[in-house]
């Protein structure tokens, strides 16, 4: 569940619904570009107040697993990296490039100032912190991972660290000093893979996929709840910890929706409903109730889940007719002249639109 994809006003509502389904922990990405859209200028207020989200989770009897990246993926623009990184043409991001690591350290230190006081060892509810994200699918640079691991510890996160990877990428993606966890792995393979790197566990599927994301131009992705409910039942019966990706997807507001490139360019739409148990506007799909029934079987004796909150009211609005228009000169107030085409990053723009204009002085073929 990602606070950036849920209107601030609904954070507590969604957390209550998570607790009522039987969850005891919320796993949450932090998107670097959501907090440092311009170099050295951090925003942790309002919609970006991640510390408030964590505190609300504690008030709702939920722990938090923090996933600060710095690379997140999550079908989010640039995987969570701020666009200004691209201005440094010879810098290699997601590597041990000294300048890149310097920027990572500044971000992680700022995040630590907000959240390190909220770890469970400091009286808060942050249980674990993830190092990078599925790095084994990208590279196998242990020095880079070690640098990030050390930054997170130095920022004050005094809880267990972990990495997450697909079953075939753990060798490349794990790092000493962080627990290996798995994404998209099921059955006895969970134990076989983890035991290679951390005998005896803990066994944690950090991303269990009860559904999938949408892609522009394709039908809404849906997955029937029956098979995922059986898989969840099996993992809980065998003592495997499970994090659902996603429990609640939410919405890609502004211009934050990203894209995947496996199988060609596959951009994400505004909706991040994900066919998750809890739908985009907080609606409970049948999957929610099926999962709740499964989880109730494994609760400590005497534990009673909160009642599922009533559905939030929905409404409609009258048809809007657009009757007015304006010239581009009224919409774009700042002009830059250049001999060459400039990218958005060159102009210090992270999201939005740029209007390019040129004059052709002679006819061409």
The 10 Å CB-count burial string (b at 16+, else e) for 73-106 is: bbbbbbbbbbbbbeeeeeeebbeebeebbebbbe
Does some domain include residue 332?
Answer: no
Expressed as residue numbers, the domain containing 186 is 3-296
Domain contains 245: yes
Residues of the chain with pLDDT under 70: none
Active site amino acids: 134, 207
Q: Is 148 part of any domain? A: yes
Question: Could you give the number of structural domains in the chain?
Answer: 1
Output the domain CATH number for residue 206.
Answer: 3.20.20.80
Give the pLDDT of residue 354. 87
Residue 53 lies in a domain: yes
- The bridge status of strand 204-208 relative to strand 259-260 is unpaired
Is 343 part of any domain? Answer: no
Q: Look at residue 262 in the predicted model and tell me its pLDDT.
A: 83
pLDDT of residue 332: 79
Task: Please state the pTM of the whole predicted model.
Answer: 0.95
């Amino acid at each position: 569940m990602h606070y950036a994809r849920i209107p601030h006003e609904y954070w507590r509502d969604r957390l209550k619904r998570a607790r009522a389904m039987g969850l005891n922990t919320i796993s949450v990405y932090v998107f670097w570009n959501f907090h440092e859209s311009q170099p050295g200028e951090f925003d942790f207020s309002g919609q970006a107040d991640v510390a408030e989200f964590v505190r609300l989770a504690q008030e709702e009897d939920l722990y938090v697993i923090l996933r600060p990246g710095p690379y997140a993926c999550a079908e989010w623009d640039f995987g969570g990296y701020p666009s200004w990184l691209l201005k440094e043409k010879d810098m290699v991001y997601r590597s041990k490039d000294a300048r890149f690591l310097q920027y990572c350290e500044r971000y992680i230190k700022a995040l630590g100032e907000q959240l390190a006081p909220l770890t469970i060892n400091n009286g808060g509810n942050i249980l674990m912190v993830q190092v990078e994200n599925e790095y084994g699918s990208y590279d196998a640079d242990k020095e880079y991972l070690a640098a990030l691991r050390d930054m997170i510890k130095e920022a004050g996160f005094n809880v267990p660290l972990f990495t997450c990877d697909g079953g075939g990428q753990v060798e490349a993606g794990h790092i000493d000093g962080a627990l290996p966890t798995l994404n998209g792995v099921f059955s006895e393979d969970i134990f076989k893979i983890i035991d290679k790197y951390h005998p005896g566990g803990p066994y944690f599927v950090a991303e269990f996929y009860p559904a999938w994301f949408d892609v522009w131009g394709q039908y809404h992705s849906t997955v029937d709840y029956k098979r995922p409910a059986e898989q969840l039942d099996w993992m809980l019966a065998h003592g495997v910890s499970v994090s659902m990706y996603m429990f609640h997807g939410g919405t890609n507001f502004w211009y934050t929706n990203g894209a995947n490139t496996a199988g060609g360019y596959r951009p994400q739409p505004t909706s991040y409903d994900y066919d998750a148990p809890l739908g985009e506007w907080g609606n409970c799909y049948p999957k929610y109730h099926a999962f709740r029934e499964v989880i109730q079987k494994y609760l400590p004796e005497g534990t009673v889940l909160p009642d599922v909150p009533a559905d939030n009211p929905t409404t409609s609005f009258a048809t809007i007719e657009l009757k007015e228009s304006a010239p581009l000169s009224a919409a774009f107030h700042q002009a830059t002249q250049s001999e060459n085409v400039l990218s958005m990053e060159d102009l210090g723009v992270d999201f939005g639109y740029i209007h390019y204009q040129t004059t052709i002085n002679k006819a061409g073929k």
